[in-house]
Amino acid sequence: MTPLETEIRAMIAQEGPMPLERYMALALGHPTLGYYMTRDPFGASGDFVTAPEISQMFGELLGLWAAEVWTMMGAPAPVRLVELGPGRGALIADALRAAAVAPAFRAAVSVELVETSPALRKRQAAALAGVGLPVAWRERLEDVPDGPMIVLANEFFDALPVRHYVRVGEGWRERLVGLGPDGALAFGVAPFAEPAIAVPAPEGAVMELSPIGHRVAATLARRLARDGGAALIVDYGHLRSGFGETLQAVRAHRYADPLRDVGEADLTAHVDFASLGEAARRAGAAVHGPIAQGALLRRLGLAQRAERLARGADEAGARAIAAATHRLAGAGADAMGELFKAVAFAHPDLPAPPGFETQGAPPA
């Protein structure tokens, strides 16, 4: 049993079963024992691989996106370049390197990294050593100082805790984590239905809600609508809201039991882009997309970027670049191009950001 599981079992023994949302928050973000707090989970030797870890092209294209958005904003100086959950710092380092083609943008930037993990803050500092720009770390988006900003978030929202309600009889009961007869962690439901939710559904249906993600989206949207700017959010998720749970645990590139190896396996849930966009719209931002990650990267010039990189590479290098291009933008289960989606939130007066121009108005 992990030390965090011992601690959570003790909490439950003392206070009773806890909402899934709190369990997930502890498993990922417990101040000393949470998954992200203690380790570097990325890469081939870690638990999972993310787009910026697959290829430098991902961060480079997002860096060029940011530079173009800045021009559309009227080139405000200073401008905050914010990343939510920067992981190892690869995306922001690649973005800033690519932004060297827009020296006025780069000179106006101050970097703001929203990151709770001390272990990952260290990795990010190392990745940005010598970047020659001011870098500040913040605990929460709310701590980023006022002013125009451009925000990047890759695989951040899927790490935020979700809440589940299960259809039992005529009502919806919140999913809890409690102790089974053998004392091990076990899923259960609240003894009473939540009276505020009255959506019909078949027995056993699961409603997955992301109040924390929606709060972040609304905060982001309010800031963008007030001070100007845009945010690009890329994540694993679905376009339409619906019933069903997507909570999953991953350890060493394999699916795992979300109630085992507590604090040592990654827990995520797919992003419900329809609800996330609705939260941002209600808070005053224009919402562009969502579109597939593959479509976004192609429109931002992935093929040209790959070709340029391949020119300087040997044969093995060229093959690796082609493989990375497929993984980032290809269709099918072995690639991210269709499974991952991108959405942009922006000040309502800003034209559609790069990559989103061909999109019509979002469906009502």
- The residues that touch ligand SAH, with contacts defined as CB under 6 A, are 28-29, 36, 42, 50, 52-53, 85-87, 91, 114-117, 120, 154-156, 159
How near is the Cβ of 137 to ligand SAH at its closest, in Å?
10
The residue nearest ligand SAH at its CB is 85
Closer CB to ligand SAH, 82 or 114, in the complex = 114
How near is the Cβ of 220 to ligand SAH at its closest, in Å?
13
Closer CB to ligand SAH, 85 or 277, in the complex = 85
Closer CB to ligand SAH, 45 or 358, in the complex = 45
How near is the Cβ of 198 to ligand SAH at its closest, in Å?
31
Closer CB to ligand SAH, 23 or 156, in the complex = 156
How near is the Cβ of 83 to ligand SAH at its closest, in Å?
7
What would the 3-class secondary structure string for the chain be?
Answer: CCHHHHHHHHHHHHHCCEEHHHHHHHHHHCCCCCHHHHCCCECCCCCECCHHHHCHHHHHHHHHHHHHHHHHCCCCCCEEEEEECCCCCHHHHHHHHHHHHCHHHHHHEEEEEECCCHHHHHHHHHHCCCCCCCEEEECCHHHCCCCCEEEEEECCHHHCCCEEEEEECCEEEEEEEEECCCCCEEEEECCCCCCCCCCCCCCCCEEEECHHHHHHHHHHHHHHHHHCEEEEEEEEEECCCCCCCCCEEEECCEEECCCCCCCCCEEECCEEHHHHHHHHHHCCCEEEEEEEHHHHHHHCCHHHHHHHHHHCCCHHHHHHHHHHHHHHHCCCCCCCCCCEEEEEEECCCCCCCCCCCCCCCCCC
How near is the Cβ of 215 to ligand SAH at its closest, in Å?
11
Closer CB to ligand SAH, 86 or 228, in the complex = 86
